[in-house]
Chains A and B, each alone.
Chain A
Amino acid sequence: AQTVTQSQPEMSVQEAETVTLSCTYDTSESDYYLFWYKQPPSRQMILVIRQEAYKQQNATENRFSVNFQKAAKSFSLKISDSQLGDAAMYFCAYRSALWDSNYQLIWGAGTKLIIKP
């Protein structure tokens, strides 16, 4: 079974600085997708970024980028120029891409990101 681990329960960063959130996963599959979701105090679950395992190029979305290391099974999220609105819980999630498998999202425990003004 696949597992997702986020080893940092909480991180803090100064506004305008850069922060990296860690995520590792365990799988025997070769084809899958990885996601970062953000959950602000409103509790809405918001997609931040997505990475296809077959793509070597790291995904980027404006100030958010990932460092995807397939061999190491690592998928970290880098937030540049941190803003107060980035304060939230960040969840890493895994989804199989194998044909006819269970496509549920498998979640890490989350990292609480605090932005210091």
Chain B
Amino acid sequence: DSGVTQTPKHLITATGQRVTLRCSPRSGDLSVYWYQQSLDQGLQFLIQYYNGEERAKGNILERFSAQQFPDLHSELNLSSLELGDSALYFCASSPMDGGWGTDTQYFGPGTRLTVL
């Protein structure tokens, strides 16, 4: 158990809908990262938040947005869902902003999103 929690575990929805994925980092970790893993693919970095502020942005679609709250949990919002958005969405956390030697990223169990 990495200490990172994600809810829900599974999500099934229809095209055009909007969903929210939730992540709680390890206790004390200030950074949260979101990654997308499509079927049989590697991971693609979406976005990073550090202590409530956006730190880095990757290949995140405009239909997707995220935020990190004062209690450091994070939410990833996916809207106008398309079939191609079906994937495993991982959240990871690290102690600081990602550049420190101790900033190994520990992953949550993921949320499997299925868009029908």
Contact = CB atoms under 8 A, between A and B. Distances in A.
Interface in B29-52: 33, 35, 41-45, 48
B69 to A, nearest CB: 21
Interface of A: 33, 35, 37, 42-47, 50, 52, 91, 95-110
Interface string B83-116: 0000010101000011101011111011010000
Contact of A44 (B35, B55, B107): B107
The secondary-structure label for the interface of chain A is loop
B43 to A, nearest CB: 5
A103 B97 contact: yes
B56 A104 contact: yes
Given A45-B90, A105-B43, A109-B42, A52 B107 contact: no
Contacts of A46: 2, 107
**Residue among A37, A42, A105, A106 having the largest count of chain B Cβ atoms under 10 Å:** A105
A107 to B, nearest CB: 4
Contacts of B92: 45, 105
B105 A105 contact: yes
